[in-house]
Amino acid sequence: MKFGPVNFGIDRLLADPTLRAPLDGKRVALIAHPASVTADLTHSLDALIAAGINVTSAFGPQHGLKGDKQDNMVETPDELDPLYGIPVFSLYGQVRRPTAAMMDTADVFLFDLQDLGCRIYTFVTTLLYVLEAAAAQGKAVWVLDRPNPAGRPVEGLTLRDGQESFVGAGPMPMRHGLTLGEMGHWFIQHFNLSVDYRVIAMEGWEPDGPELGWPQDRIWINPSPNAANLNMARAYAGTVMLEGTTLSEGRGTTRPLEVLFGAPDVDAKAVLAEMRRLAPHWLAGCAIRECWFEPTFHKHAGQLCNGLMIHAEGGFYDHQAFRPWRLQALAFKAIRALYPDYPLWRDFPYEYEFERLAIDVINGGPDLRTWVDDPAATPADLDALTAPDEAAWRAQVAPLLLY
């Protein structure tokens, strides 16, 4: 089946002089990473400068403008671009919020990051921080919109009041269903920001259409080192919770964050059987396959791990039925049932949060962990807790949808 072309925000801006006209005489900054490319794979920084736009600075988010930093809390320094001689500021180094001095380098900030549609993916929080800084400094922010590869489905508990962090910008569910352009509108509304904001919207993107979120005429480029393909992007709202556990998320392999878990001391086949016993309907929309791997670095490095691989792709994938957050929660619940004393929750600093457990930072509160650890709590109990949050979010953002 052949689908129509989808034009991303960057492509529309470059193709339409009337869209670019407000940038005339302005100093322009670009927030970008390796996936910030045009339809012909030219990096947005090169394309904007070639189009005659006065780019005076660039910014890199977590993992850097080049996308070379592998893990969480691995920082990127500021630098000078060797080709263009402009400053490249890191928003994941000495600061995560742009400083007044950084904001002074431009008048208009073009935000061109590929997102995964998940609250914990830090580019969402970086957008909020840029909007807040722009509001304080009287700057303009344009989002050059890109697809949400996970599409419109919404899933997960809403971040609880007081649980905000760099992986939790505000009270939204884990899987938010928005593009970053739409998310910018929600931030402005929710936080009552006064900022010159516009979205260069996509043309032809149908989030609930036959392409299921990601256009088939666009290749996938890693927006971060462990976001290797569309299967990962779909699974991420669940598998990212593994970062708060002692279980391997597949870092140190070629398919990170596409597994429900991996560990040298867990029987994956038994876990899958227990998952099917507890809540078979939560396994819908994908295929689950037992696998083995030996991470070359990170958790369980050099040890043979037994795990479960997710395949939310091809004929196995059902866009509306797949619920990765519940699927991952169910894997935790099954492990807890089979191994009651397993040291599941990882106690270490996570994204600059040093007091709270990482799993609670990731989930925006302790509710998920409490449910997993309570032997009497059932899948229906988690549904009863989560479904109202999901429904409230859908209603709240419905007026903001651009596609």
Looking at the 3D structure of the chain, how many domains does it have?
A: 2
Residue 174 shares a structural domain with residue 262: no
Q: Is residue 346 part of a domain?
A: yes
Residue 198 shares a structural domain with residue 240: no
Residue 265 shares a structural domain with residue 121: no
Whole domain around residue 262: which residue ranges? 230-393
Residue 13 shares a structural domain with residue 41: yes
Q: Under a CB-based contact definition with an 8 Å cutoff, are residues 260 and 306 in contact? A: no
Residue that is last in its domain, among 198, 225, 252: 225
Q: Is residue 91 part of a domain?
A: yes
| Distance in angstroms (rounded) separating the CA atoms of residues 394 and 323 | 16
Residue 357, both tokens: 């457990």
Three-state DSSP state, 198: strand
The pLDDT of residue 67: 65
Q: Give backbone dihedrals phi and psi of 183, rounded to 5 degrees, phi first.
A: -60, -35
| Distance in angstroms (rounded) separating the CA atoms of residues 350 and 234 | 23
Query: For the purposes of burial, counting CB atoms within 10 Å of the CB of 39, is it exposed (0-12), middle (13-18) or buried (19 or more)?
Result: middle
Residue 64 shares a structural domain with residue 93: yes
115: nearest Cα among 71, 67, 66, 148: 148
Compute CA distances 354 → 165, 244, 300, 363, whole Å. Answer: 11, 13, 23, 15
SS (H, E, C) 226-294: CCCCHHHHHHHHHHHHHHHECCCCCCCCCCCCCEEEEECCCCHHHHHHHHHHHCHHHHCCCEEEEEEEC
| Distance in angstroms (rounded) separating the CA atoms of residues 363 and 371 | 12
Looking only at the bridges linking them, the beta strands covering 108-111 and 287-293 are: unpaired
Q: Is residue 402 part of a domain?
A: no
Q: Is residue 4 part of a domain?
A: no
Residue 103 shares a structural domain with residue 130: yes
**Which 8-state DSSP code applies to residue 159?**
P
Q: Strands (DSSP E) along 95-159, which ranges?
A: 108-111, 140-144
List the CATH number of the domain containing 292: 3.90.1150.140
337: nearest Cα among 395, 264, 387, 271: 271
Q: Is residue 398 part of a domain?
A: no
Q: Say what the pTM is.
A: 0.96
List the CATH number of the domain containing 201: 3.40.50.12170
Three-state DSSP state, 295: coil
pLDDT in tens, the chain (403 residues): 445 689 999 999 999 999 999 999 999 999 999 999 999 999 999 999 999 999 999 999 998 887 665 555 567 789 999 999 999 999 998 999 999 999 999 999 999 999 999 999 999 999 999 999 999 999 999 999 999 999 999 999 999 999 999 999 999 999 999 999 999 999 999 999 999 999 999 999 999 888 899 999 999 999 999 999 999 999 999 999 999 999 999 999 999 999 999 999 999 999 999 999 999 999 999 999 999 999 999 999 999 999 999 999 999 999 999 999 999 999 999 999 999 999 999 998 888 888 899 999 999 999 999 999 999 999 999 999 999 999 999 999 999 999 9
Looking only at the bridges linking them, the beta strands covering 28-31 and 55-60 are: parallel
255: nearest Cα among 305, 217, 208, 215: 305
Looking only at the bridges linking them, the beta strands covering 259-263 and 196-200 are: unpaired
Residue 252 shares a structural domain with residue 197: no
Residue 210 shares a structural domain with residue 266: no
The pLDDT of residue 73: 55
Q: Which helix (H) or strand (E) holds 29?
A: strand 28-31
Q: Is residue 1 part of a domain?
A: no
Residue that is last in its domain, among 202, 225, 248: 225
Residue 347 shares a structural domain with residue 220: no
Residue that is last in its domain, among 194, 225, 256: 225
The pLDDT of residue 1: 42
DSSP assignment string, 56-94: EEEEE-TTTTTT---STT-----EE-TTT--EEEESSSS
Residue 218 shares a structural domain with residue 84: yes
Q: Is residue 401 part of a domain?
A: no
Residue 218 shares a structural domain with residue 240: no
Residue 299, both tokens: 């958790």
Residue 243 shares a structural domain with residue 121: no
The pLDDT of residue 64: 87
Q: Is residue 3 part of a domain?
A: no
The pLDDT of residue 348: 86
| Distance in angstroms (rounded) separating the CA atoms of residues 8 and 200 | 8
Q: Which helix (H) or strand (E) holds 30?
A: strand 28-31
